Amino acid sequence: MLFSSKNRNRLVGIDIGTTAAKLIELSRVGRAIRVDHYSYEPIAPGLIIEHQIKDIEQVGAAVQRLLARSGTKLKRAAGCVSSTNVISKGITVQSDIGEDELDALVEVEADRVVPYALDDVNIDYVNLGKSPQGDGEDQLQLVVCRKSVVESLAAVMEEADLEPAAVDVDHFALARVNSFVSESEMGSGKNKTAALMDFGFNTSRLLVFHDNRIIYTRENPYGGRQLIDSISQKYGLPPQDAAHALRNNELADTFKNDVLKPFVKTLMQEILRTLQFFYSSSTHNKVDKFLITGGCAQIGNIDKFIEKRIEVPTAILNPFAATRLGPKVDQARFRRDIPSLGVAAGLALRGVE
């Protein structure tokens, strides 16, 4: 196709979660980055359970609706698997190691950590740069994932007539966003420690970065499900209707006092406990900034409540603070959903790097 080389690296980032799929398409306009397309599509309960896709056809249909709603014309997509489905290990290698020797070393290291046959897994690695342990060495992040998990994600993309151009890990997508944001909000991130809480539906995850590298992760079995369940019980709504009512601010006036306040109180306790686990297992006794993303980050003033409770500057992760919005983006809906778009943004950034 004429001028197709201009779109050679362009892709959409698609985050397929337990309750919704999100899409972001970015482009470069001069030195600036622009959001060209965005959309959000609910996923019916039971289609994804514990990060496993149970119905490829129906999830693929949801992604097709996501694409149609967004208006994007791109067919290349980056998706991600959950870190719970991944085994990851840091290794150090000589900087001048040959490609064949490196591949052999990576396979040996993978064999040491994988509890099943290497024929059943995908193995990859990323070079993180010079190792702080000494000159002449590089630090690599080894990543291993079951082929069945990757193939299920690829099958969903293909069901939606997409080319699965890249499969990432959700943690690494968020790390990419953290680096992108820190360049404008925290300088280079050097000698800075930032914590990021990603609120999922079933679980929440804490990622801690120092010098823009992940130094700690922890998963906590507390997320948006508890709030949806409380709404369902209080107002007699099916979970899907409860989620819709919450998202569209259609709940009764009693919601804030009877449901939201108790949930937020428990959420604060979980955040404090998770941070304490980090402090007790590392040499750090503080973080410079606390960022939040995911569904619960959409709760009004949640960042202010957290900041007051943990006494650390807190903000909603906003990958788009320094970006432009294209004319086809519904600005009101987009700004409402920003707290849930962290992973999708990290995937989309692969297309403008």
At residue 133, does pLDDT exceed 80? Answer: no
pLDDT at 37: 97
At residue 131, does pLDDT exceed 70? Answer: yes
Out of 141-150, 178-187, 193-202, 233-242, pick the least confident: 178-187
Mean pLDDT (whole number) for 312-316: 95
pLDDT at 187: 55
Helix, strand counts (H, E) of the chain: 11, 16
Tokens of 126: 């990323």
Of 96, 124, 146, the domain-final residue:
146
Residues 91 and 60 placed together within one structural domain of the fold: no
The full DSSP string for 270-316 is HHHHHHHHHHHTSS----SEEEEEEGGGGSTTHHHHHHHHHTS-EEE
- What are the tens digits of pLDDT across the range 235-281? 999 988 998 899 888 999 999 999 999 999 999 999 999 999 999 99
At 293, is the pLDDT very low, low, confident or very high (cuts 50, 70, 90)?
very high
233 in a domain, yes or no? Answer: no
239 in a domain, yes or no? Answer: no
d(CA 154, CA 4): 23
Of 213 and 291, the structure prediction assigns the larger pLDDT to: 291
At 5, is the pLDDT very low, low, confident or very high (cuts 50, 70, 90)?
very low
pLDDT at 38: 96
CB 337 within 8 A of CB 247: no
Residue numbers of the domain that contains 57: 4-84+147-227+254-351
**CATH number, residue 63:** 3.30.420.40
Residues 139 and 180 placed together within one structural domain of the fold: no
At residue 1, does pLDDT exceed 50? Answer: no
CB 163 within 8 A of CB 196: no
Give the chain's domain count. 2
What pTM value is reported for the model?
A: 0.90
List of E strands, the chain:
12-16, 20-29, 32-42, 48-49, 52-53, 76-81, 86-94, 121-130, 137-146, 163-169, 193-199, 204-210, 213-220, 289-294, 314-316, 324-325
Residues 12 and 127 placed together within one structural domain of the fold: no
Q: Which residues contact 223 (CB under 8 A, 6 or more apart)?
A: 199, 200, 201, 202, 203, 204, 294, 295, 296
User: For the chain, what is the mean pLDDT?
Assistant: 90
At residue 113, does pLDDT exceed 60? Answer: yes
Out of 129-133, 199-203, 305-309, 349-353, pick the least confident: 129-133
- What are the tens digits of pLDDT across the range 315-333? 999 999 889 999 999 999 9
Residues 202 and 296 placed together within one structural domain of the fold: yes
At residue 296, does pLDDT exceed 50? Answer: yes
Q: Which residues contact 53 (CB under 8 A, 6 or more apart)?
A: 16, 47, 59, 152, 153, 156
CB 268 within 8 A of CB 305: yes
At residue 3, does pLDDT exceed 50? Answer: no
271 in a domain, yes or no? Answer: yes
